[in-house]
Structure 1
Amino acid sequence: MKKGFSLPLWVAGAAKSALKKLVGLPFENYELIRIPNEKKEIKIEIHSVGLLKDDSHALGISFARSGLDLDITQNLEIWTIAAFEKISCKNLVQTNLINIIAGSGVGIKEDTSEICISDFAKEVLYENLLDIIPEGFILNLEIIFPNGEFLAQRTSNQSFGIVNGLSIIGTSAETYSSASPDQLEEAKTELSNLVKNDFKGKVVFVIGENGLNLAKTCNVKLPIIKVGNWIGPLIVDAAIKNVQTVVLFGYHGKLIKLAGGIFHTHNHLADGRIEILVYLAVKEKVPFEIIDKLSHLDTLEDALLLLESFSKSIAEKLFQNLSNMIEKRSLAYVNRYVKTDMEIAAIIFDRKRKIRWSGKNGNDYIAYFQFD
């Protein structure tokens, strides 16, 4: 499997280099990054480092090397600006010694304005920076992705309530392509292990890291497997393993592809989202002028907003039909390879991370998802 290192490691490398410069240590063109709870270090290349603002701040720069050709963060330029802040006597017991700041191009949560960073990314920073921070100080660490806001427009970040840039959501040190066949094998292995251990016959499949992150915020009473973009082959594998029910939980911009018979959902391989919605609109006899406007839009979210401005009831009916079609086409896909009466349920959320639609089967499983 083609692999590299995740974004949190490149951020940590730039941050460590900047911090070392700030305390007077010499520059090296690489940093050894320790991985939390693992007995290994990973060598991260550093582009440059320098002092700023009368030597009170230090800037470290790295370029992410995920090793994945289709990864949005491949070659991403990363700036980290480090500065110390003295702790007053009354705050000497403070345990949060690193203040992580979202700079330009770094995503924040729309509802709270907090930086969108995974627990793993925070752990990597703490693991590698804490022992360099002088006693009596905290570290203010600003992370900047100079091209992040532009690149974020090519992602589904906004669909998950993340605005202004790219999130730092890696959950492991190494990266794996969701378009790689080996990623499918990894998901199959996870499913095999699941069905061996007191399995109740039902499983939730989610697409990608953002979908997984959202699913984990629900008190889901079912096991969850991240399936990447290999949805179709993994559903077939589930049928072969005699899984009774697969719940497809995902963002409308991904799951709509299944309604059009596209069962590998990576954008570089196939899109067709607007075309599928136009087809549904034609079947529903939506006026031609609305269909014409739909056909010129770039995103499914824009299409939804257009339809809702025309008629909320028609928009709701179209997306309900879409949910049913996802279930129907998915089962038909599976039955091309193996005869099964496995149940496939679809539950779809929108850009505000709210569950909006479900298919006829999906209606029976919404109660399994409880948002905080």
Structure 2
Amino acid sequence: WAIIPVPRRMISSALQAACLQGGYQGGLRRNLSIPEGQRLAQKTFNPRLGIVGGLSVLGTSGIVDPMSEQALVDTIHTEMDSRRAAGQTHLLAFFGNYGVDFSRDHLGVDVSQRVTISNYVGETLDYAAYKGFSDVLVIGHIGKLVKVAQGIMNTHSHYADGRTTILALEAVFAGASRQLARQIYDSLTTDEAVRLLKEQNLLEPVMAAVCEKIEAYMDQRTHGEIPTAAVVFSNAYGVLGLTSRAKEFLALHTKGELR
């Protein structure tokens, strides 16, 4: 099965509540199904991630509000307008909840003034420069930010991937064998690729190169009008890399000392 922790906890809690209400103290067997899951899964990115036989369960409500891309971008802009109108000059951006939770729990970052940008890195940087923010810090999972290292400014899988491509290439430049590079390239997830790099002591030089490219493309997008920074993390391996200004910008959003 492919169900992320939050929905799993919600399912377990619901079953425990039902047992408690009914006075049942025995065991349970859970059978979960999604109608037409196998057919619908073929329209998603799941098969390329090695998730076969149905859909993965990633959300928590089961409700998806349909919105156009322009509506999403407009929502991001509205949130940025609000932050700027309140006098905020240091923009803190996350792709989604994973980055928020990681930053709050492991970096001690005050995430209360954040902006959630979904996949729209380019539009966020454009608008940050337009609104006169003094700097931008993006904190994101390697699966998202490694795309930015290739100049991909919309990180949705429909537009581009190349996650393991650049990791394999930079591994070769760092001394990896052809066999290892192929293993990295064929990895189904970035965490798997990171594991391979870590085992061969190549993670540090590869991530240094990746972060250098992330910074270059982000600065290029803002035309040098405002400085940018990024923190790359993995839930499995923690902080993987920081661009050159990341520590300085992190301090602007951190309560006390960095953890």
TM-score normalized by the length of structure 1: 0.53
CA deviation map 1:228-269 (0-9, x unaligned)? 111111111101111111111010011000000100000111
Deviation at 1:348, TM superposition (A): 1.3
Distance (Å, rounded) in 2 between the aligned partners of 1:238 and 1:256: 21
Deviation at 1:360, TM superposition (A): 1.0
Contact 2:77 2:124 in 1 (8 A): yes
Residues 353 and 211 of structure 1, relative CA distance in 2, 3 Å threshold: farther
Distance (Å, rounded) in 1 between the aligned partners of 2:104 and 2:66: 21
Residues 212 and 289 of structure 1, relative CA distance in 2, 3 Å threshold: same
TM-score normalized by the length of structure 2: 0.74
Deviation at 1:276, TM superposition (A): 1.6
Unaligned stretches of 5+ in structure 2? 48-55
1:182 match: 71
Deviation at 1:291, TM superposition (A): 1.9
For 1:328, the aligned partner's letter is A
CA deviation map 1:154-190 (0-9, x unaligned)? 39xxxxxxxxx634434x966255x722101100111
CA RMSD of aligned residues (A): 3.8
Distance (Å, rounded) in 1 between the aligned partners of 2:233 and 2:151: 20
Deviation at 1:358, TM superposition (A): 1.0
Match among 158, 161, 167 for residue 277 of structure 1: 167
1:154 match: 46
Distance (Å, rounded) in 2 between the aligned partners of 1:195 and 1:331: 20
Residues 145 and 343 of structure 1, relative CA distance in 2, 3 Å threshold: farther
Contact 1:257 1:272 in 2 (8 A): yes
Distance (Å, rounded) in 2 between the aligned partners of 1:106 and 1:347: 26
**Pairwise mapping of residues 318-329 of structure 1 onto structure 2 (< 5 A)?**
318-329=206-217
Residues 166 and 153 of structure 1, relative CA distance in 2, 3 Å threshold: farther
Residues 215 and 181 of structure 1, relative CA distance in 2, 3 Å threshold: farther
1:59 match: none
Deviation at 1:352, TM superposition (A): 2.4
1:71 match: none
2:50 match: none
**Farther-moved stretch of structure 1 (359-368 vs 258-267):** 359-368
**Farther-moved stretch of structure 1 (292-301 vs 323-332):** 292-301
**Pairwise mapping of residues 1-372 of structure 1 onto structure 2 (< 5 A)?**
106-108=3-5, 115-117=8-10, 137=21, 145-146=32-33, 154=46, 166-170=57-61, 175-176=65-66, 180-199=69-88, 201-217=89-105, 219-221=108-110, 223-310=113-200, 312=201, 314-335=202-223, 340=225, 342-352=226-236, 354-367=238-251, 368=253
Where 1:349 maps in the other structure, the secondary structure is: strand
Residues 241 and 138 of structure 1, relative CA distance in 2, 3 Å threshold: farther
Contact 2:191 2:236 in 1 (8 A): no
Deviation at 1:333, TM superposition (A): 2.2
Distance (Å, rounded) in 1 between the aligned partners of 2:22 and 2:103: 34
**Farther-moved stretch of structure 1 (287-296 vs 190-199):** 287-296
**Farther-moved stretch of structure 1 (252-261 vs 321-330):** 321-330
Distance (Å, rounded) in 1 between the aligned partners of 2:243 and 2:190: 18
For 2:211, the aligned partner's letter is S
For 1:154, the aligned partner's letter is N
Unaligned stretches of 5+ in structure 1? 1-103, 156-164
For 1:146, the aligned partner's letter is S
Residues 227 and 145 of structure 1, relative CA distance in 2, 3 Å threshold: farther
Residues 107 and 301 of structure 1, relative CA distance in 2, 3 Å threshold: closer
Contact 2:92 2:137 in 1 (8 A): yes
CA deviation map 1:123-161 (0-9, x unaligned)? xx9xxxx9xx9xx94699998642599979939xxxxxx
Q: Which has the higher contact order (CA 8 A, sep 6+)?
A: 2
Where 1:166 maps in the other structure, the secondary structure is: coil
Deviation at 1:327, TM superposition (A): 1.3
For 2:154, the aligned partner's letter is H
Distance (Å, rounded) in 1 between the aligned partners of 2:176 and 2:114: 37
Based on CA coordinates, which of the two structures has the bigger radius of gyration?
A: 1
Comparing both structures, which one devotes a greater share of its residues to strand?
A: 1
Distance (Å, rounded) in 2 between the aligned partners of 1:139 and 1:234: 52
